Structure 1
Amino acid sequence: MDGSMAIGLYRHAVTEENLARQYVGWHDAPLVIAESLRLKEIAGRYPEYDLVFTSDLRRCRYTADLLFQDTPIIESPLLREIHFGEWETKTYEELQGKRVYRNWLEDQSLPIPGGESLGVFEERLEQFWSNLFSDSHAPEVAANYIHRKHKDLRIAFVTHGGVIRYFLSKWVAETKAFWEWKIPFAEGYELHWTAEEWREKSRCSSLLEVPSTESPGG
């Protein structure tokens, strides 16, 4: 690739389970109706992209459809949140009496009963990232959008909070712990690389919060 690279990382919009402060990983929760209406109103504030990848869960796919209506969208289960297994749709109050849960709060590298360990989750995300420029996601789209070697390329991921925190921790120069990254719903960050930085697999050279809080007029 001879041009620059920009990757937008966007969290899905709000679900009822989010409002109830439940653990939601692979549980396929839809967006709340009011949130869908809000996204339609503010979609014009978001940057444009050549291609959008999204988790295959409804809350991400619906967010992507509403915000990037005229952009090719590819679903990937590899972009799912960590699988919370037996804790899906449970709250802290419901789980705090369980020893295995308290142990996990102290050491989140431990496996989640019926779900994923942090290591398995990260391996899945690395698999997605390593295949980003292959045809494995969607050959008919990749040929038109991903393999344009001589231009600036802009890609967005519409995914989950944990996924975004992992990519930020890996690719942003600023040192922050995983949970220190604040990821508002339907918002995120845009990472920028020069062609040389991208080829060398360096951390990104700049980071912007998206969408911009400035009005279109400045």
Structure 2
Amino acid sequence: MEIYLIRHTTPNVAKGVCYGQANIDVTETFHQEASQIKPHLPLGIQQVHCSPLQRCRKLAEALFPQVAVQFHDGLKEMNFGDWELKKWDEIPNDETQLWMADFVNVCVPNGENYVQLYERSVQLFHQFIQPAPVAIVTHGGVIRSLLSYLSNTPLKDSFSAFSLPYGCVVKITKDNNQYTYKIFS
């Protein structure tokens, strides 16, 4: 079993802006970044699952033009609710401090928390496992939550444990009920 988790390329959003499920586009470096991903993928992937957000959709369609991509809302990035597309320094400090103190369990106002992202990501992951190679084009939060699950890393430690630059590929293999992963960037 091989699953390839692919993080979208660089999003076209200003630094310091909070975004998750906002449907933002990619930068002008998209084609160059996509071409750097291809060498890390095997030929012949016939099953591709993807977040419906355009930064992932465009990448899936560019990497796998001959495959009917399957879109899943559960592969979207974390829902930042009222904070979507606001500058971090414009979000009320009392809200961000509460969330930063326990981002795993505290929900963003009208959004979700990291546990909710983790639960939907893991549930979908199990549906995608099959003998043939599978590609999943998604977001950093989804990939971190899956790596936390597969490696038994606490969610609160996932940002320090897993460095996932835009356009990275994480190859997951399973042998004898043991998952291993390798990150390519």
After superposition, give the CA deviation of every residue in 1:146-173 in whole Å (9 maximum; x if it has no partner).
5xxxxx4211111000000000011136
The structure 2 residue matched to 1:179, chosen from 149, 156, 159, is 159
Please name the residue that 2:26 is paired with.
31
The structure 2 residue matched to 1:114, chosen from 107, 110, 114, is 110
Q: Which moved more, 1:113-122 or 1:162-171?
A: 113-122
- 3-state SS of 2:29 partner: helix
Check 1:123–1:42 CA distance in 2 against 1; reply closer, same or farther (3 A cut). Answer: closer
> Normalising by the residue count of structure 2, what TM-score does the alignment of the two structures yield?
0.86
Which letter does structure 1 place at the counterpart of 2:2?
A
Contact in 1 for aligned 2:122/2:146 (Cα 8 Å): no
Q: Which moved more, 1:34-43 or 1:6-15?
A: 34-43
Residue correspondences, number: 180
**Percent of matched pairs sharing the same residue:** 24
- The reply on whether 1:42 has 2:16 as its aligned counterpart is no
Residues 161-172 of structure 1 aligned to structure 2 (within 5 Å): 161-172=140-151
Check 1:175–1:25 CA distance in 2 against 1; reply closer, same or farther (3 A cut). Answer: closer
The structure 2 residue matched to 1:74, chosen from 60, 70, 75, is 70
Structure 2 gaps of 5+ residues are none
Please name the residue that 1:189 is paired with.
170
Please name the residue that 2:119 is paired with.
123
Which letter does structure 1 place at the counterpart of 2:84?
E
Q: Which has the larger radius of gyration?
A: 1
Contact in 1 for aligned 2:48/2:68 (Cα 8 Å): yes
1:52 shift after superposition: 1.3
Between the aligned partners of 1:12 and 1:51, the Cα distance in structure 2 is 17
Between the aligned partners of 2:11 and 2:142, the Cα distance in structure 1 is 17
Check 1:117–1:84 CA distance in 2 against 1; reply closer, same or farther (3 A cut). Answer: same
1:210 shift after superposition: 2.7
Check 1:30–1:122 CA distance in 2 against 1; reply closer, same or farther (3 A cut). Answer: same
Between the aligned partners of 1:12 and 1:105, the Cα distance in structure 2 is 25
> Normalising by the residue count of structure 1, what TM-score does the alignment of the two structures yield?
0.74
Two-structure CA RMSD over aligned residues (Å): 2.2
